[in-house]
Amino acid sequence: MSGTSMDGVDAVVADFAAATRGPCALLAAVQVPFAPELADELRALQRSGVDELARAARAANALADTYADAITGAVGEAGIAAADIVAAGVHGQTLRHRPDEGWTLQLNNPARVAERTGVAIVADFRSRDLAAGGEGAPLVPAFHAALFGGSEHRVVVNLGGIANLTDLPVHGEVRGFDTGPGNVLLDHWHVRHRGGPCDRDGAWSRTGRVDEALLTTFLAEPFFARVPPKSTGRDLFHGEWLDARLAGRAVAPADVQATLVALTARTVADAVLTHCAAAAGVLVCGGGAKNAALMDVLTAALAPRAVATTAAHGVAVEHVEALAFAWLAREALAGRPGNLPAVTGARGSRVLGAIYPR
């Protein structure tokens, strides 16, 4: 999995037959960072530009090679052979996501990944749901239900580049949707003013204070008031979105960072309180779960609900999304639906993914 943070690839090896607790056993995990030039090009390709079709094709090849390196590394870490892998779910890198126009674009070259790894690849998970009238996202709630559903009503929050939640009632329908920016604006602002990939532990944001007027302007974004099903991405939440709301304001950079932390926490908490009010606990995963400042603000906003990371349930926060796409690949090979119509708004359940044999 490479998500909207666009910092690299997470790969896991999951055994669904040997699991003694939950739906799968984790055999190995690796992280492969993007080469700087690939990360820069992927970000550039989110906007129209000169020769973008050829540039996208070249970037897809480089991306596929990175996926192949991650798969090969994870297989080696697990101490097994490529022949032992049934398939790898490779989501691709989302460059544009426009469900309002009925399309989405995940850059990928799954045939190249299959050729380089000797592993069957399942890719293109979103298209069928979109064709059936859905948002094509989020796709992980079905896996969240398999992994974290149980005797307690809880919510799973993924703080990736974009944040999303899954509502897991003890009885009733599983629901989920994107809530808005997770780390995407935080990372962007930190890179612009401090360099480095992210504000580790939220240390810089702690030196600033929340600008309430700016936060109110942020919260006026219509997406936040939309009724689910809904999904979003960098098509909406990007540097230009932020700059437009900062125009004419004299706000210290650290205060902007603190206000962006408040934005992520507030929009997630509002979504939970509005749509999942009966939940007793919240489990957090994704890169944002490692931002101590963000977790502190989110925990306070969700009180008195218990807030913990998925690590408390035996799954590291950085592994959940990659495990989800292994699970979705397995569902595709078995001919079982991978989407939840109540989450995406599709007309019905659909088998997701295209298969590229080894």
The predicted model scores a pTM of 0.94
351 and 334 within one domain: yes
- In this structure, are 265 and 239 located in the same domain? yes
Question: What is the mean pLDDT for each group of 10 consecutive residues in the chain (358 residues)?
Answer: 91 87 87 96 94 98 98 98 97 95 97 98 98 97 93 96 97 96 97 93 98 98 97 96 98 98 98 97 96 98 97 93 96 97 97 97
d(C-alpha 295, C-alpha 286), whole Å: 12
- Among 313, 333, 348, residue at a domain's last position: 313
Considering the domain architecture, whether residues 337 and 232 belong to the same structural domain is answered as no
The answer on 239 and 132 residing in a single domain is: no
Cα-trace Rg, the chain: 19
- CATH classification of the domain holding 179: 3.30.420.40
Tell me which H or E stretch contains 27: strand 25-33
Residue type, 31: Q
Is residue 1 one of the residues assigned to a domain?
A: no
Q: So what's the pLDDT on residue 21?
A: 65
Q: Specify the number of domains making up the chain.
A: 2
- Answer yes or no: do 95 and 145 share one domain: no
Residue 61's domain comprises 8-136+320-356
Residues paired with 237 in a beta bridge? none
> Within a domain: residue 74?
yes
Tell me what pLDDT residue 197 has.
86
Is residue 198 located within the same domain as residue 309? yes
Both tokens assigned to 71: 């798969």
97 and 69 housed in the same domain? yes
Statement to judge: residues 217 and 233 lie in one domain: yes
Residue 2 forms part of a structural domain:
no
- Strand stretches in 162-271, DSSP E: 162-168, 175-181
Return the structure tokens found at 151. Answer: 């005797």
- Verify that 149 and 43 share a domain, yes or no: no
260 occurs within a structural domain: yes
Phi first, then psi: give them for residue 355, nearest 5 degrees. Answer: -105, 130
Q: How far apart are CA 222 and CA 176, in angstroms?
A: 19
- Tell me if 58 is assigned to some domain: yes
- SS3 at position 338: coil
Q: What is the pLDDT of residues 44-65, one digit of tens each?
A: 999 999 999 999 999 999 999 9
In a domain? residue 3? no
Residue % of the chain over a pLDDT of 70: 99
The reply to whether 197 falls in a domain is: yes
Q: Say if CB 162 and CB 4 are below 8 A apart.
A: yes
**CB atoms inside a 10 Å sphere around CB 212:** 10
Same domain, 294 and 343: no
Instruction: Let me know if residue 343 belongs to a domain.
Output: yes
Residue 150 confidence (pLDDT)? 86
Residue 14 sits in the same domain as residue 132: yes
Cβ 26 vs Cβ 13: under 8 Å: yes
307 and 324 inside one domain: no
